[in-house]
Amino acid sequence: MKKTALITGASRGIGSAIALRLAEDGFFTVINYNNSRESAEIIASITGGIAVKADISDDAQVKDMMDTISLRAGGVDVLVNNAGISVSGLFCDIPLQREKRLWDVNVGGTFNCTRAVLPRMINKKSGRIINISSMWGEVGASCEVHYSAAKAALIGFTKALAKEVGPSGINVNCITPGVIQTDMNKHHSKEVLDELAEDTPLERLGTPEDIAKAVSFLASSDSDFITGQILGVNGGFVI
Ligand code: NAP
């Protein structure tokens, strides 16, 4: 029987590339989405998986999603906490409501999904949790203070959880992408994106597939002895 991978925010961007790659690797994929139903269903039809709606910031919706997964796939063997949003602007200019939303989705959503999958993983004494943070969580970005702080929280979360659930046979790792070409960066001008590529030692921006390859490794048995680690996939932008 195929193992099941739940990828949050897999309707677009990095999450959809992860879903396509994990399906190629032989996983049954659960494509979580919030607003982009049509594209989530297209990804699910390509992967042979299922699309399940849940706003991950809402614990009740996450529980409903887990009930659906239990019925249709048994449970989650690999959780990829990918869904996220960004907020740009000077720290003091970000309204409290947007600050709260950013935290609720990026951190609260990761906590909700992890809390929902862990009991079964602990019972089975096996599982993989892969958190998608950001290089800005490691080095900080001006005008993205809230985002950087939330992504830094995921790094701390990864390290602490890896220690807590390692004895239960669960590996917890984190990927810190550099600048990846997705909708999240479409507000940047071509000039800004060209400059970011120039500042990258490998002289290009990343693709969603670059991140999917790293997730594929961390979901596979090739990474059996790796846990609590932060893997930068950023073309050398942060060294
Ligand atoms: P994206 O293209 O904007 O896609 C975001 C995805 O997250 C969408 O599938 C969206 O689903 C989902 N999502 C947002 N809020 C959600 C919620 N409350 N519940 C469930 N799903 C939700 O972003 P991306 O660039 O692929 O980013 C994916 C992850 O990589 C994020 O965590 C991001 O912070 C991180 N990252 C991105 C970059 C980059 O340069 N792009 C760099 C470093 C880290 P719907 O459309 O269905 O609502």
For residue 124, the CA-to-ligand 1 centroid distance in Å is 30
Nearest to residue 78, comparing CAs of 36, 37, 113, 46? Answer: 113
- Backbone φ and ψ of 85, nearest 5°: -130, 160
User: What's the CA gap between 138 and 148, in Å, rounded?
Assistant: 8
Give the three-class secondary structure for 133: coil
Nearest to residue 85, comparing CAs of 63, 96, 95, 100? Answer: 100
Q: Which amino acid, one-letter code, is at 234?
A: N
Query: What's the whole-number mean pLDDT along residues 117-138?
Result: 98
User: What's the CA gap between 161 and 50, in Å, rounded?
Assistant: 28
User: What's the CA gap between 11 and 20, in Å, rounded?
Assistant: 11
Residue 178's pLDDT band (cuts 50, 70, 90): very high
DSSP 168: G
What integer pLDDT is reported at residue 138 of this predicted model? 98
CATH 3.40.50.620 applies to domain 4-233: no
User: What's the CA gap between 52 and 37, in Å, rounded?
Assistant: 9
Query: What's the whole-number mean pLDDT along residues 161-179?
Result: 98
Contact assessment for residue 28 and residue 10, using Cβ atoms and an 8 Å cutoff: no
What integer pLDDT is reported at residue 73 of this predicted model? 95
Ligand 1, residue 151: give the atom nearest the CA. Answer: 34
**Cα 186 → chain centroid:** 19
36 CB near ligand 1 (under 6 Å): yes
For residue 84, the CA-to-ligand 1 centroid distance in Å is 4
What integer pLDDT is reported at residue 199 of this predicted model? 95
Contact assessment for residue 64 and residue 84, using Cβ atoms and an 8 Å cutoff: no
Ligand 1, residue 135: give the atom nearest the CA. Answer: 43
Averaged pLDDT of the chain = 98
Least confident window among 132-141, 166-175, 184-193, 201-210: 184-193
What integer pLDDT is reported at residue 35 of this predicted model? 98
Q: Which pTM was predicted?
A: 0.99
14 CB near ligand 1 (under 6 Å): yes
Q: Which amino acid, one-letter code, is at 90?
A: L
User: What's the CA gap between 218 and 80, in Å, rounded?
Assistant: 10
Contacts 24+ apart (CB under 8 A), 91-97: 91/145, 91/146, 94/146
What integer pLDDT is reported at residue 100 of this predicted model? 98
137 CB near ligand 1 (under 6 Å): no
Q: Which of 21, 33, 131 to mutate to test the pocket of ligand 1 (most atoms within 8 A of CB)?
A: 33
Enumerate the active-site residues. Answer: 147
37 CB near ligand 1 (under 6 Å): no
Residue 17's pLDDT band (cuts 50, 70, 90): very high
DSSP 200: S
Sequence ranges of the domains in the chain: 4-233
What integer pLDDT is reported at residue 64 of this predicted model? 98
Please write the tens of the pLDDT for every residue from 21-75.
999 999 999 999 999 999 999 999 999 999 999 999 999 999 999 999 999 999 9
Structure tokens at 172: 């917890």
212 CB near ligand 1 (under 6 Å): no
β-strand pairing of 4-7 with 28-33: parallel
